[in-house]
Structure 1
Amino acid sequence: MTNSFKVHKHTLLLLGGIVWGFAGFNILRIGLLVYDPYVSIINILLSILVYAAFQFMVFGKMVRKHTARITQYEEDQQFFMKFFDIKAFCIMAFMIIFGVSLRYSGWVPEVFIAVFYTGLGASLATAGVLFIINYIKECREARYNGEL
């Protein structure tokens, strides 16, 4: 592997943040674009419930797991795609395929897309932001310790 494909291990956190942030904001945007006719207290509460479920049961754990894995790498320079492991890339591919299929299949009503995509997108975007916060923290700590 040539060095042109390697980045500092902390940069992997930034890349993870960009990927999940981009995905999250895009899904959030899709949900919000169709939400207007379905705005109600119940639907907003359901979106918050979807957000909380994904944040606390899936994406929050994922951020912690991948941050720990990345920061424990022995070598400072890592292949740029190592911001996730194979399992995470498979989950991402499944989510994209399932999400696009669900949206365009007509299997679910638009209100579901509005409520679910808004909660899911917000949770994914939060994961992206958390990765970026972890990147900033790791860079500050590395600078403080004279590692950068």
Structure 2
Amino acid sequence: MAPMTLGYWDCRGLVQPIRYLLEHVGQEYDYKCYTFGNDIDTMFSSWYSQKPTIELDFPNLPYLIDGDIRLTETVAILHHLGRKFELVAQSDLDQRTQDMFDGILNDLASAGTTFYYPDRRSRQYPDDLRLDEHNAAFSGLIAQYSNLSRHHELMLVRHL
């Protein structure tokens, strides 16, 4: 397998599930890291100046270059890799279930960003990360992972 190129900011963020998947399947990849700074000059010199030169249909981060395939957007990249490495559901029923889990996981991840970006917090902040809703959707699956539940508790204590 030839190495792929994966580009994103110098944080885990939206790229981390992609890196997990690539590591899981043993796919080599070159990681192109862009500096996410507090000022536009840092970000311009790192990503924005290179953005028009990478030949992407919809230039954005994260991006994946897999031979002739050039993709942006986390979900599109994950779907591509899932198909490529035969990690997707096969039956129609399983595909529909997989699509629903995809949506639930995206909702949970979106709610989690309020922890890491304090300026985006709303007065409804404690309600943004109620795991009980998501846990019910997963029939108690989240409760089986004590690290996730403990992480959730620590974040609530720190930010309330």
* Common topology (TM > 0.5): no
Higher strand share: 2
- Which structure exhibits the higher relative contact order, with contacts defined as CA atoms closer than 8 Å and separated by 6 or more residues? 1
